[in-house]
């Protein structure tokens, strides 16, 4: 995730955007629940979105056992240098790769070049993901789907970046509103 001062620039206008299904309220998370995010819903309001859950597209169910990438990141998984295990120690790599490829197919078919994906997930996470110890620790790297999309030129944001972007926009809009009101009050014509 970016440093606190980093400015996030989301596209002003997007026609077609990919979103993690759990962020818009679909119950596809490992615990059978969703991760609905009000900032993401606000950002995509009025935009055509295609939502995907790579892990379910790969053949897993919800609920399912939690999974994390062991000894590497999504890029290493795609290269065959790391695996994804679930909390029972089972190798579930093939589900993650199948899901990522399916998402890439959808992206290409729909001409998508921008995605908002769930932070820290072994599939959807960008920049930082759970570290493979199931202890809540994080490590650098993308999830498997995020890595594949990035390799194919898709720009990715997570919900935390969307929130920062919209909060900053709210402040700017409020400042603009105040300036407009003051300006209107001072006018003599
Ligand atoms: S983070 Fe990605 S893989 Fe996990 S539930 Fe959400 S959409 Fe599915």
For ligand 1, atom 4, the nearest C-alpha belongs to 29
Residue 182 binned pLDDT confidence (cut-offs 50, 70, 90):
confident
Average pLDDT over residues 159-173: 91
Question: Domain for residue 89, yes or no?
Answer: yes
Collapsing DSSP to helix, strand or coil, 53 comes out as coil
Question: Domain for residue 71, yes or no?
Answer: yes
Question: Domain for residue 93, yes or no?
Answer: yes
**Mutate-to-test residue for ligand 1 from 18, 22, 98, 145, highest number of ligand atoms within 8 A of CB:** 22
| Tokens linked to 84 | 């994804």
Average pLDDT over residues 164-182: 86
Residue 8 binned pLDDT confidence (cut-offs 50, 70, 90):
low
> What are the contacts of 101-106 at 24+ separation with CB within 8 A?
101/148, 102/52, 102/54, 102/57, 102/58, 103/18, 103/52, 103/54, 103/57, 103/145, 103/148, 103/149, 104/148, 104/149, 104/152, 106/18, 106/50, 106/52
Q: How many domains would you assign to the chain? A: 1
Quote the CA–CA distance of 93 and 83 in Å, as a whole number: 5
Per-residue pLDDT of 71-130, as tens digits, reads: 999 999 999 999 999 999 999 999 999 999 999 999 999 999 999 999 999 999 999 999
Question: Domain for residue 3, yes or no?
Answer: no
Question: Domain for residue 47, yes or no?
Answer: yes
Per-residue pLDDT of 44-88, as tens digits, reads: 998 889 999 999 999 999 999 999 999 999 999 999 999 999 999
Question: Domain for residue 177, yes or no?
Answer: yes
Question: Domain for residue 10, yes or no?
Answer: no
Distance 47 CA to ligand 1 centre (A): 20
Contacts of 47 (CB under 8 A, 6+ apart): 14, 15, 16, 17
Instruction: Provide the domain limits for residue 48.
Output: 16-182
Instruction: Return the pLDDT at 5.
Output: 37
Query: What's the whole-model pTM score?
Result: 0.88
Question: Domain for residue 6, yes or no?
Answer: no
Instruction: Return the pLDDT at 14.
Output: 58
162, pLDDT greater than 80: yes
């Amino acid at each position: 995730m970016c440093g606190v001062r980093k400015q996030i620039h989301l596209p002003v206008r997007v026609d077609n955007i990919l979103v993690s299904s759990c962020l818009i309220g679909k119950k596809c998370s490992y615990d059978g629940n969703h991760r609905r995010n009000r900032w993401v819903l606000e950002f995509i309001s009025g935009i055509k979105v295609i939502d995907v859950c790579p892990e379910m597209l790969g053949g897993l169910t919800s609920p399912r056992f939690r999974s994390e990438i062991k000894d590497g990141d999504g890029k290493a998984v795609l290269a065959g240098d790391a695996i994804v295990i679930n909390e029972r120690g089972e190798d579930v790599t093939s589900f993650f790769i199948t899901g990522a490829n399916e998402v890439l197919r959808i992206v290409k078919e729909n001409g998508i070049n921008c995605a908002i994906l769930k932070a820290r997930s072994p599939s959807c996470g960008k920049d930082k993901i759970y570290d493979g110890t199931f202890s809540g620790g994080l490590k650098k790297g993308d999830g498997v789907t995020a890595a594949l999309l990035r390799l194919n030129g898709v720009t990715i944001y997570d919900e935390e970046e969307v929130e920062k972007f919209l909060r900053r926009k709210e402040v700017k809009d409020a400042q603009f509103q105040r300036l407009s009101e003051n300006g209107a009050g001072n006018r003599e014509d």
